[in-house]
Amino acid sequence: MKSKPSLVDYNFINFPKKELSELQKKIIKTDNSKLYLNLFMISILCIGIYVLYSRMTEKEEIDSKNKKDILFLNEYINNSLNYMDNLKTLQTLQKINQEKEKI
């Protein structure tokens, strides 16, 4: 029959101390340039998200302004063309009247 092991006090056992290898020393001594680079990239990402969000919120305003400008330009062109047509008809009427007076 097997007996159960008794509890052991590990303070009495001397475990070998682990020495740091060269690689572990390099890992400990590394600078935080990668951390700074990641923080910089995250800040650029946040700025990009903010710009996209602001464009989305202002999209309706910009669209309505552009439509108003297009309608204004359309009315302006139509009115100027009508004015030019009226001038041409006036000139032709004046020519006809001058010819009638000559006859």
pLDDT tens-digit readout, 46-103: 999 999 999 999 998 999 999 999 999 999 888 887 777 777 787 887 887 787 777 6
Structural domain including 94 reads: 22-102
Q: What is the CA radius of gyration of the chain?
A: 44
CA dihedral 41, 43, 46, 52 (to 10 degrees): -80
| Assigned domain for 39 exists | yes
pLDDT at res. 56:
92
Per-residue pLDDT band for 5 (boundaries 50, 70, 90) equals low
Counting the structural domains of the chain, the total is 1
Within a domain: 5: no
| Residue 20 neighbours by CB under 8 Å, 6+ apart | 28
